[in-house]
């Protein structure tokens, strides 16, 4: 049976279908409050535990604290007769620390639509708002009672939840080989209290995803009360991501990055990609498989604490996407692309390629900073992964995501597509790879074809400034395929490294498929008007010029204006 409050590690899930408190009295009488106090006592400071045991003697500590809370709720401070009131400083500390303990959880409410709710829910947003207000009122009631006066300063923090989702069973066209997946609930709506600040215990991705000849998800039986499905549009593809509830905030974070699929599309179209994320099978698998029979790519990520880092969920999705698109004959590009609209009305499509930390996003950001007098606006086509394909002898590109998952320290110069009040931050206080997920584009723009005029490799290791172009297409292919970059602490790698076609998310694993595609597309670029070269970002260069990136961005701007 589902429980009202589920706590695991740093995640709390409140099941509104099992009821939620409408007032302070209901909080005091709830099993969830008992569960919360137990959790606090398990990690309470030694000094607190020492004082509690000394005052409460043989009494149950949890019951003593809850009884005190009831007295604070009912009586005037001077009328309370409870042993703990002999130490007012301890009581004040308990109120504050239990509240802080609760707020340190990443808290999400869920509502299963189509079920009768014990709380007689009308609207999940209204329910979430009411729950937040109830928790905040309860805390303030106890806190002000203990201090003996009203506060002079109030901070309207989200005391109840950080996010909310609705879940529902939907008719779907999941193939018969995966019948067990049909019964699982889809995420139907998402509510974010943004800016949303998350604190995953890891902030780096390690290892590569491996192809397996054995279907890793066929025959899996995932429990309905443990796994939810986020149906995502990755470019023009449809992906079902079934995630364990312990990683619910990774699933929720997808809403800032991938368009949520409509009910009509779920009813009328089979998925191209299916992923089971957080499978408790005792392995450390990170595998994908091409299901030729059902014309799908499927994948599994086994349950490990480290996969709480959002990069694991995002990158397995993009790996499956890239493998699918290569089978279609399209070429995956690990990079970024923008359409630059100059003040003279001319539009220029420029794509940058490079592995993590190469500077493909940074050069666009710097271009925006210096180009305000010459650039009308930019459309972001992709900021991490896109694909090239050929239309009438021209190279055109599509994107994959409507958002960007970028390092926070890249956002310190007044950057191009900041929407900070709608963002999701991950470990923003960290000095290593703090991240933010920012909405940057719309699905129509991302999923449409865009002509590529320039294709530049983001070189972060050579101590040069500006741009350069290759003497031959073979030289160009050598540089792009070698995929060199100076690692920038975004993964486990350090120093100068290489990665096949700068893309460890599909091309690396399927080089036999990718090699002829590279030959084909570079030949088309050579025969058409696409200019192929390098831009020197200097991000991995020791003792670089202070304004090296700015000078290289100026060189790019000069290129665009001279087209």
User: Each residue of 279-305: pLDDT tens digit?
Assistant: 999 999 999 999 999 999 999 999 999
Measured distance CA(352)–CA(363) in Å, rounded: 9
CB-based contact 189:166 (threshold 8 Å): yes
Measured distance CA(408)–CA(418) in Å, rounded: 11
For 320-349, write each residue's pLDDT tens digit: 999 999 999 999 999 999 999 999 878 999
Inform me whether the pLDDT recorded for 358 exceeds 90.
no
Average pLDDT, the chain: 92
For 376-417, write each residue's pLDDT tens digit: 999 999 999 999 999 999 999 999 999 989 887 765 444 434
Measured distance CA(501)–CA(427) in Å, rounded: 30
Q: What is the dihedral of CA 154, 160, 163, 164, to 10 degrees?
A: -140
Whole-angstrom CA distances from 97 to 69, 101, 200 are 14, 6, 21
Pairing relation of β-strands 273-279 and 496-498? unpaired
DSSP class of residue 234 equals: E
What pLDDT score does 488 carry?
61
Q: Nearest 5°: phi and psi at 329?
A: 100, 15
What pLDDT score does 491 carry?
53
Inform me whether the pLDDT recorded for 119 exceeds 50.
no
What pLDDT score does 489 carry?
53
CB-based contact 458:363 (threshold 8 Å): yes
What pLDDT score does 118 carry?
45
Pairing relation of β-strands 163-168 and 106-112? parallel
CB-based contact 521:388 (threshold 8 Å): yes
Cα–Cα–Cα angle for 388, 389, 394, nearest 5°? Answer: 105
Q: Which residue, 332, 309, 302, is CA-closest to 320?
A: 332
CB-based contact 198:106 (threshold 8 Å): yes
What pLDDT score does 1 carry?
40
Q: What is the dihedral of CA 312, 318, 321, 323, to 10 degrees?
A: -80
CB-based contact 20:129 (threshold 8 Å): no
Percent of the chain with pLDDT over 90: 78
Q: How many helices (H) and strands (E) does the chain have?
A: 14, 27
For 218-237, write each residue's pLDDT tens digit: 999 999 999 999 999 999 99
Split at pLDDT 50, 70, 90, the class of 133 is very high
Inform me whether the pLDDT recorded for 419 exceeds 70.
no
CB-based contact 461:450 (threshold 8 Å): no
> Which structure tokens are listed for 218?
């066929």
What pLDDT score does 2 carry?
62
Q: 219-233, 421-435, 482-496: which has the minimum mean pLDDT?
A: 482-496
Q: Nearest 5°: phi and psi at 68?
A: -60, -45
Q: Which residues share a beta bridge with 12?
A: 7, 107
Q: 114-123, 187-196, 210-219, 421-430: which has the minimum mean pLDDT?
A: 114-123
């Amino acid at each position: 049976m589902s429980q009202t409050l589920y706590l695991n590690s740093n995640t709390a899930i409140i099941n509104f279908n099992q009821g939620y408190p409408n007032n302070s009295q209901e909080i005091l009488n709830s099993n969830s409050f008992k569960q919360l106090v137990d959790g606090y006592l398990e990690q309470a400071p030694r000094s607190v535990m020492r004082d509690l045991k000394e005052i409460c003697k043989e009494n149950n500590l949890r019951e003593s604290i809850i009884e005190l809370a009831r007295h604070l709720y009912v009586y005037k401070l001077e009328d309370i007769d409870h042993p703990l009131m002999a130490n007012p400083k301890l009581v004040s500390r308990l109120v504050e620390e239990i509240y802080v303990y609760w707020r340190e959880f990443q808290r999400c409410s869920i509502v299963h639509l189509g079920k009768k709710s014990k709380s007689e829910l009308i609207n999940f947003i209204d329910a979430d708002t009411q729950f937040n207000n109830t928790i905040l009122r309860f805390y303030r009631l106890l806190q002000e009672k203990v201090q003996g006066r009203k506060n002079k300063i109030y901070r309207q923090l989200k005391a109840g939840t950080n996010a909310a989702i609705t879940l529902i069973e939907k008719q779907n066209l999941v193939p018969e080989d995966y019948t067990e997946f049909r019964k699982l609930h889809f995420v139907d709506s998402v509510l974010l209290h943004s800016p949303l600040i998350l604190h995953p215990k890891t902030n780096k991705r390690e290892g590569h995803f491996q192809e397996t000849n054995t279907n890793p998800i066929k025959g899996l039986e995932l429990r309905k009360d443990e796994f939810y499905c986020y149906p995502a549009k990755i470019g023009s593809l449809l992906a079902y991501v079934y995630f364990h509830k312990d990683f619910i905030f990774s699933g929720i974070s997808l809403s800032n990055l991938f368009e949520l699929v409509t009910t009509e599309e779920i009813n009328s179209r089979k998925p191209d990609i299916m992923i089971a994320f957080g499978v408790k099978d005792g392995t450390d698998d990170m595998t994908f498989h091409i299901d030729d029979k059902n014309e799908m790519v499927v994948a599994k990520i086994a349950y490990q604490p480290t996969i709480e880092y959002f990069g694991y969920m995002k990158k397995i999705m993009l790996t499956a996407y890239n493998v699918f698109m290569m089978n279609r004959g399209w070429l995956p590009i690990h990079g970024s692309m923008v359409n630059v609209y100059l003040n003279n009305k001319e539009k220029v499509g420029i794509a940058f390629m490079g592995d993590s930390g190469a500077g493909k996003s940074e050069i666009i950001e710097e271009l925006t900073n210096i180009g305000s007098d010459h650039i009308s606006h930019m459309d972001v086509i992709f900021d991490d992964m896109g694909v090239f394909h050929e239309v009438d002898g021209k190279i055109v590109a599509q994107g994959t995501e409507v958002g960007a998952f970028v390092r926070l320290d890249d956002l310190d110069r007044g950057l191009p597509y900041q929407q900070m009040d709608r963002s999701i931050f991950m470990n923003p206080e960290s000095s290593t790879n703090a991240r933010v997920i920012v909405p940057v584009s719309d699905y129509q723009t991302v999923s449409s074809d865009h002509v590529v005029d320039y294709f530049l490799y983001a070189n972060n290791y050579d101590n040069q400034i500006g741009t350069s172009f290759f003497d031959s297409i073979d030289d160009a292919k050598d540089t792009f395929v070698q995929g060199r970059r100076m690692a920038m602490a975004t993964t486990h790698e350090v120093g100068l490294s290489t990665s096949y076609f700068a893309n460890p998310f599909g091309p690396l694993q399927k080089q036999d498929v990718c090699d002829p595609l590279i030959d084909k597309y570079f030949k088309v670029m050579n025969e058409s008007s696409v200019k192929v070269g390098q831009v020197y970002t200097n991000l991995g260069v020791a003792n670089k010029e202070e304004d090296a990136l700015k000078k290289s961005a100026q060189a790019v701007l000069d290129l665009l204006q001279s087209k």
